[in-house]
Structure 1
Amino acid sequence: MLARIVEALARTMAVLGGLVLSVLVMMICASILGRFLNGVLNDPPFEGTAFAAWLLGLGIGPITGDFELVEAGMAFAIFAFLPIAQLTGAHASVDIVTAGLGERVNRVLAMLWAILFAAVLVVIAWQLYQGTLSKARYGETTYLIQFPVWWAYAAALVGAAIAALVGCYVAAVRVAEFATGMAILPDEGPEH
């Protein structure tokens, strides 16, 4: 039951992270196209024409605050993908040394890394929580669109908290795997 809940949570976060990344990519493309068209419409032969004035009047140009929105969205997306990567063992690894070690030693290493990673994720989530409170208390906003900075922190905090939860679950499973000698979770992601 717990395994299904954790997996559903991790997959949901990955889907949300993918949606946010997709929206960011579309926004970046629209902003680049708008910036290009704005430049074209402000240069000869279109400069000063009624057509150019009409298009520019519609607001053709870069999206105001696009960098600020990308910054906020990427913070969320990064933390949104951590739970599924942790759960499936998809983090990058170099196994030159560990490939020659026995299965028991590799289980110990997997357990220790999972515990360490869970601890790091808990610390990151805690620090993001503190940062969210601090940014909300001071009312800091972004420069161009006056977007409250704490909103981005809060969105990243959701991802970090779920990543910490999944990290703790994976650490507990790795301890159980070590104690029983049974494989419960994948050791590593796909081979490339």
Structure 2
Amino acid sequence: MYSFFLKLSKLMAWLGGAMLTALIVMVCTSVLGREVNGILHADWLVSLAPGLSRWLLDLGIGPVNGDFELVESGIAFSIFAFLPLCQLTGGHATVDVFTNYLSDRVNQGLRLVTDIVFAGVMVLIAWQLWLGLASKKSSGQTTFLLEMPVWWAYALSLSGAIVAAVIACYVAAMRLREVASGRVILPIDLGANH
């Protein structure tokens, strides 16, 4: 079961990374287009080469229309897409100033509690996204510039949140099994320690 969830979480991380990369390229293109558009509207260029300036502007050189709407939608998905791998591999950042002095058994219990709470929060977030998706879909609300249905962004985020919730529940169940059996089943705190 662990290998299936590991493959699924890696797939989600790759999808989140692809989304993040696409958003970065789009934002850079938009910023560059906005800057070039400003130069093409400059009085000195319009007077020096009015035909060239008008021709380039007619090509559509400028910022990406609705770039902030796309960033809002894509970033939410990326965040949810990275959570499963981080949770499954114990990759969350930890501050262990206090817990370093506790026994392994107490630390195991603390991991169990935090993983159960994390699973509960992820299930709650997924449920709220589902309710938001249903509400936005029934209202027909769209974004301002692109007039893209808002529920599309909710659906994209919900897909990542569902995978994150399922994997968080699996991790919580495995931590419970670890406490019951006294053996280590999943990786422990592979993340950055501060």
TM-score for the superposition, normalised by structure 1: 0.97
Aligned to 1:11: 10
Cα distance in 2 between the residues matched to 1:182 and 1:16 = 33
**In the alignment, which residue of structure 2 is the partner of 1:103?**
104
Matched, 1:161 2:162: yes
- For residues 191 and 118 of structure 2, the distance between their equivalents in structure 1, rounded to whole angstroms, comes to 20
Amino acid of the structure 2 residue aligned with 1:113:
T
Q: Does 1:141 align with 2:142?
A: yes
Give 1:76's aligned residue.
Answer: 77
Measure how far apart 1:117 and its partner are.
0.5
User: Can you list the C-alpha shifts for 1:94-129, whole angstroms capped at 9, x where unaligned?
Assistant: 111111000000000001111110011000000000
1:29 corresponds to which residue? 28
Distance 1:50 1:106 in 2: 71
- What RMSD over aligned residues (CA atoms) do the two structures have, in Å? 1.0
* Contact 2:93 2:192 survives alignment (8 Å): no
Unaligned runs of 5+ in 1: none
Greater CA drift, 180-189 or 161-170 = 180-189
Q: Distance in 1 between matches of 2:46 and 2:157?
A: 43
Instruction: Name the residue aligned to 1:120.
Output: 121
Query: What amino acid sits opposite 2:186 in the alignment?
Result: L
The structure 1 segments of at least 4 consecutive aligned residues displaced by more than 4 Å after TM superposition are none
SS at match of 2:188: coil
2:44 aligned residue: 45
Per-residue deviation, 1:44: 2.8
Counterparts of 2:139 and 2:8, CA distance in 1: 32
* Residue 92 of structure 2: aligned partner: 91
Alpha-carbon distance change, 7 to 170 in structure 1, aligned in 2, over 3 angstroms: same
- How far has the Cα of 1:191 moved from its partner? 4.3
**Identity percentage of aligned residues:** 50
Structure 2: gaps (5+ residues): none
- Structure 1: distance between partners of 2:87 and 2:133: 24
2:46, 2:186 → 1: CA distance? 62
SS at match of 1:76: helix
Count of aligned residue pairs for this structure pair: 191
- Distance in 2 between the 1:47 and 1:41 partners? 7
For 1:33 and 1:128, the matched residues in 2 are separated by 34
**Whole-angstrom distance in 2 between the partners of 1:81 and 1:175:** 24
- Offset at 1:130? 0.5
- SS of the counterpart of 1:47? helix
CA distance in structure 1 between the partners assigned to 2:23 and 2:68 by the alignment: 10
Does residue 1:54 correspond to 2:82, yes or no?
no
